[in-house]
Structure 1
């Protein structure tokens, strides 16, 4: 009961909202044509929402510090399982439709790739997304939690990773398996494209760990924690803004592979936003929508995989980046319903399996 009381309801709501948000964002990015993504208000707003990855990562780091899974062994095991899940998801997203003949003809051609088809599908199979980042990060942050006991030491590690991220980007050696691991760490674009390399994106998780440690030292006082986040957020914005807007080539260089200034700047706005959501959540009573968000938070990983697989399969039906915004809005509603339906179906199968085991034990 004590562990449960230390949970921050606002973080569960944020993670729950991220589940619904990612269905909206991924549906738009997959099915909307370029005009709908960039020249309509709705499309531009949804693309903007897609820049909220740092919110999820800071929440991940904070809850990691206060979770029941405190052992280093547990962290490494969970990291390995996430990496396996990520490869399985990529197989079902990209290779499964090819095997059964419902992949869109224009999907690979849209990327302008050349060379053997097998190499192109290997590229897709190894593509690095948020699951790969979470899995790789768990292999490291367990050591940080165990051996770095001072909260400012934890923060220093996170800032250091951001500071060296541009310098280590592109490190590789000509050994395929090793090179893929280096790809996930440093993004050298071979043999796969990695959207969220560990350097610098793990910095956000470690910043969250810093606040998780602070939360423990504050004896789990939520109000004080989020007040500290607000002050730190303003400080980070002040420090990061000049780096991004004056020296942007090095410190930002695009959303997915930002430099140290970008990390500090985005972390600052994220912390301010988390404080705002906390203040809102304090005045929201339990209702069906809140219960729905908590359900999403509880099943975040599985729903992430479900929605991506379903959306990828849908390219064979609805095309790839061929639809206007009105069609995309209908597809968003469809995929929200489908994602929840599959998750509920999986839950019911788990319940039936558990009930069957209990019956066998009784017999």
Structure 2
């Protein structure tokens, strides 16, 4: 799981750099661009891994889940402020970026809207406010799975539900939004289903007495079953079961979850006998600092819009930018580590940069 989460850190830098800086032609009409866009459909991998580790974490109290959920929400809004408002304040935000939303009026007001953008951190934060109760009160693994599948099943029915009242309408958007582009890219319904499916396997792992080989073999079997069920729903009844990547229906959730489970099994088989090396240590480092590195890369890439342009570059230049942002993200993370080491001198125990950032 550490290796996969570490891979997702590198992958998100690659994907976000392409989406922000590559022209639409470069994204859709080049082999490299199309492949990277395809990689962007791997969000479910991170969420299922999150669910597994949530069940196996040493912090099992409901209070810790609710606290971390609230902190992730705050972190998400802080990241959006740094991404969108700082460039406006210092005058390096490209005006044409806002045109894709078709908005009118003061640019400051338009960018304030983006502070509320529902990204993966908002999804994780909102989900933890729910799944903490599932972990505490649902002890049967199949009961956990049933809840995850039920959320997927009703997702299209509740999609777009909104209570037209200040603050409450934003919360309902985080839960049920179906507009795209919108202020919420990852609504809790259906995306929380992936986290709960991961929790099912995390509970199964505990029931297996930490038998990793059997766990991933079970993932393979369940993955094949999910693909067999989800594929006909997606390809024959796609309008309801898929609709769009960000707002998919039950068939899409089952289909993507199936391929994700097969992928996790494949990674386990490939890495099971790999000895510790620099690459493995680097990926584990990324996994340990996933939240902070996610925030760092998004902020740096967003600031780069005012320097390198927004969706104006060819694939060759974007590949150089990908390398540049990978290096820059690590450098900023290393700088945070140095600052945290100084702070750790007065802390009772060593904790990860992720925990420092959230606190």
1:138 lines up with 2:128 in the alignment: yes
Of 166-175 and 76-85, the range deviating more from structure 2: 166-175
1:231 lines up with 2:221 in the alignment: yes
Q: Cα offset for 1:194? A: 1.1
**Separation in 2 of the partners of 1:24 and 1:164?**
33
- What residue number does 1:333 align with? 323
Match of 1:109 among 93, 96, 99: 99
Match of 1:217 among 207, 230, 234: 207
Q: Cα offset for 1:173? A: 1.4
- What residue number does 2:45 align with? 55
**Separation in 1 of the partners of 2:182 and 2:32?**
31
**Separation in 1 of the partners of 2:145 and 2:164?**
34
Paired residue total:
348
TM-score (norm 2): 0.95
Of 109-118 and 266-275, the range deviating more from structure 2: 109-118
1:21 lines up with 2:18 in the alignment: no
1:149 lines up with 2:139 in the alignment: yes
Match of 1:128 among 97, 118, 133: 118
Query: Could you report, residue by residue, the CA deviation over 1:32-90 in whole angstroms, capped at 9, with x for unpaired residues?
Result: 00111000000000000000110110000001001011000000000000000000000
1:299 lines up with 2:299 in the alignment: no
8 Å Cα contact 2:85/2:112 also seen in 1: no
1:70 lines up with 2:60 in the alignment: yes
8 Å Cα contact 2:178/2:247 also seen in 1: no
**Separation in 1 of the partners of 2:70 and 2:302?**
24
Q: Cα offset for 1:120? A: 1.7
- What residue number does 2:32 align with? 42
**Separation in 2 of the partners of 1:283 and 1:261?**
35
Q: Cα offset for 1:176? A: 2.0
1:199 lines up with 2:186 in the alignment: no
Query: Could you report, residue by residue, the CA deviation over 1:306-346 in whole angstroms, capped at 9, with x for unpaired residues?
Result: 00000000001000000000110000000001000000000
Compared CA separation, residues 270 and 280, structure 1 to 2 (3 A)? same
**Separation in 2 of the partners of 1:34 and 1:70?**
45
**Separation in 1 of the partners of 2:111 and 2:237?**
37
- What residue number does 1:279 align with? 269
1:165 lines up with 2:158 in the alignment: no
Q: Cα offset for 1:160? A: 0.3
- What residue number does 2:172 align with? 182
8 Å Cα contact 1:137/1:198 also seen in 2: yes
1:76-91 → structure 2 map (5 Å cutoff): 76-91=66-81
Of 188-197 and 301-310, the range deviating more from structure 2: 188-197
8 Å Cα contact 1:214/1:225 also seen in 2: yes
Q: CA RMSD in A?
A: 1.4
Q: Cα offset for 1:357? A: 6.9
TM-score (norm 1): 0.94
**Separation in 2 of the partners of 1:192 and 1:45?**
25
SS at match of 2:160: coil
Q: Cα offset for 1:250? A: 0.1
8 Å Cα contact 1:126/1:192 also seen in 2: no
Q: Cα offset for 1:122? A: 2.8
